[in-house]
Structure 1
Amino acid sequence: MRLDDEAESQNVEDRRGGGFGGGGGFGLPVGGRTIGIGTVIVALAASYFFGIDPSLIFQGASVIQGQPQQQQQAPQQHRAPATDQLTVFTRKVLGNTERTWEHIFETDLNRRYAPPTLVLFSGSTPTACGTGQSAMGPFYCPGDQKVYIDLGFYNELRQRFGAGGDFAQAYVIAHEIGHHVQNLLGVSAKVDAARRRMSEAQANQLSVRLELQADCLAGVWAATAQKANQQLLEPGDVEEGLKTAAAIGDDRLQRQAQGYVVPEAFTHGTSEQRVRWLRQGLTTGDIRKCDTFAARQL
Structure 2
Amino acid sequence: MRLKDVRRSRNIEDRRGQRRVGRGGARIGGVGLLLVLAIGYFAGIDVTPLLQDQDPRGQITQTAPTPEEQQAAEFAGRVLATTEQVWSKVMRDQAGRTYQPPVLVLYSGVTQSPCGGASGATGPFYCPADRKAYLDTDFFATLSRQLGAKGDFAAAYVIAHEVAHHIQNEMGILGQVHRARQAVSTAEGNALTVRLELQADCLSGVWAGAVDGLLEPGDLEEALNAARMIGDDRLQSRAGRVPQPHTFTHGTSAQRARWFAIGYDSGQMGRCDTFAARTL
Fold agreement, TM-score > 0.5: yes
| Aligned match of 2:233 | 251
Deviation at 1:111, TM superposition (A): 0.8
Q: Is 1:90 the equivalent of 2:76? A: yes
One-letter code aligned to 1:52 = I
| Aligned match of 2:180 | 194
Secondary structure at the aligned position of 1:104 is classed as helix
- Of 242, 254, 266, the residue aligned with 1:284 is 266
1:1-298 equivalence runs, <5 A: 1-19=1-19, 25-26=26-27, 41-48=29-36, 50-53=37-40, 56-58=43-45, 84-226=70-212, 230=213, 232-298=214-280
Deviation at 1:20, TM superposition (A): 5.4
Deviation at 1:133, TM superposition (A): 1.9
Q: Could you report, residue by residue, the CA deviation over 1:129-153 in whole angstroms, capped at 9, with x for unpaired residues? A: 1221221100000000000011111
Q: 1:52 to 1:135 in 2, by over 3 A?
A: farther
One-letter code aligned to 1:25 = A
One-letter code aligned to 2:175 = A
Q: 1:51 to 1:88 in 2, by over 3 A?
A: same
One-letter code aligned to 1:157 = L
One-letter code aligned to 1:120 = L
TM-score by length of 1: 0.82
Within 2, Cα distance between the matches of 1:170 and 1:123? 20
Secondary structure at the aligned position of 1:125 is classed as strand
Q: 1:290 to 1:56 in 2, by over 3 A?
A: closer
Percent identity (aligned): 48
Q: 1:149 to 1:113 in 2, by over 3 A?
A: same
One-letter code aligned to 1:260 = V
TM-score by length of 2: 0.87
One-letter code aligned to 2:4 = D
Aligned residues: 262
Secondary structure at the aligned position of 1:155 is classed as helix
Q: Report the RMSD for the aligned CA atoms in angstroms.
A: 2.4
Q: Which sections of structure 2, spanning at least 5 residues, go unmatched? A: 48-61
Q: 1:263 to 1:13 in 2, by over 3 A?
A: same
